[in-house]
């Protein structure tokens, strides 16, 4: 009987994730732009405060916050989970969520006033329900990949985005624009950066066991097209 070399046995016993790498980078906008003016709450200022930050575009030293970075390709795992969207101080927290298909979205309210949450979705069941102060959370499973706009019909400034992806390899950029998608198996993929105001960019990438560093500059998007 042949003896299998120890090195080969060790290789076979090491899990595939041991050879996975991370995708790291930064989403930036290197052009000139102005932060949007805060929303005025009018008659709701006693509860909401007079001003609420407009989160449609948040840039810090060119770093773009709330960009969704998503990986597309074959044989990428799906690990469904529970994700929370809260109505707090008359805004949605967080402003942008990304989740894999078959995950559960839990919608909460922490405010002492009524809200109406309205999702503009086509692939997943739309939500259009009233939330009263102290109401229990509402849960819904997101079954299909989709980009979903969320609004409150009672407060025009309240908006958020839910990005449902076909796998678990996605993330949202931080306040300085940085992001990381860990434990990516080696292979060839498409990596997309999407922002609600600045548009979308896609790059073909190859990930090895040492991972990859890659950056996106939304200046590459034709901004007239992005803002349609």
Strand, helix or coil for residue 176? coil
Residue owning tokens 């839990």: 106
Q: For 92-105, how does the pLDDT look when each residue is reduced to its tens digit (9 = 90+)?
A: 999 999 999 999 99
At residue 98, φ and ψ (nearest 5 deg) are -120, 140
Helix or strand holding residue 45 (H, E): helix 45-48
pLDDT digits (tens, 9 = 90+) for 183-217: 999 999 999 999 999 999 999 999 998 889 999 99
Specify whether domain 18-66+176-228 bears CATH 2.60.40: yes
Contact 192, 200 (CB under 8 A): yes
Is the domain covering 77-168 a CATH 1.10.3720.10 domain?
Answer: no
Rounded to whole angstroms, the Cα distance separating 22 from 207 reads 8
What is the domain partition of the chain in residue ranges? 18-66+176-228, 77-168
DSSP lists the bridge partners of residue 72 as 190
Given a cut of 70, whether residue 9 has pLDDT beyond it is: no
């Amino acid at each position: 009987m042949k003896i299998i070399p120890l090195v080969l046995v060790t290789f076979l016993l090491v899990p595939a994730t041991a050879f996975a790498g991370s995708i790291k980078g930064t989403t930036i906008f290197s052009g000139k732009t102005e932060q949007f003016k805060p929303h005025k709450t009018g008659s709701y200022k006693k509860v909401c405060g007079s001003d609420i930050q407009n989160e449609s575009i948040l840039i810090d030293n060119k770093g773009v916050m709330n960009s969704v970075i998503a990986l597309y390709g074959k044989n990428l795992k799906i690990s469904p989970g529970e994700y929370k969207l809260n109505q707090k101080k008359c805004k949605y927290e967080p402003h942008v969520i990304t989740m894999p298909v078959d995950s559960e979205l839990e919608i909460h309210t922490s405010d002492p006033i009524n809200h109406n949450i309205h999702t503009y979705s086509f692939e997943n069941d739309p939500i259009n329900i009233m939330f009263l102060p102290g109401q229990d959370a509402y849960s819904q499973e997101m079954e299909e990949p989709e980009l979903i706009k969320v609004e409150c019909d009672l407060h025009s400034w309240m908006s958020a985005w839910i990005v449902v992806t076909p796998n678990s390899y996605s993330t949202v950029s931080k306040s300085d624009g940085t992001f990381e998608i860990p434990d990516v198996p080696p292979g060839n993929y498409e990596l997309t950066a999407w922002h609600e105001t600045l548009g979308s960019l896609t790059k073909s990438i190859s990930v090895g066991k040492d991972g990859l560093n890659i950056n996106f500059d939304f200046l590459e998007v034709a901004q007239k097209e992005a803002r349609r």
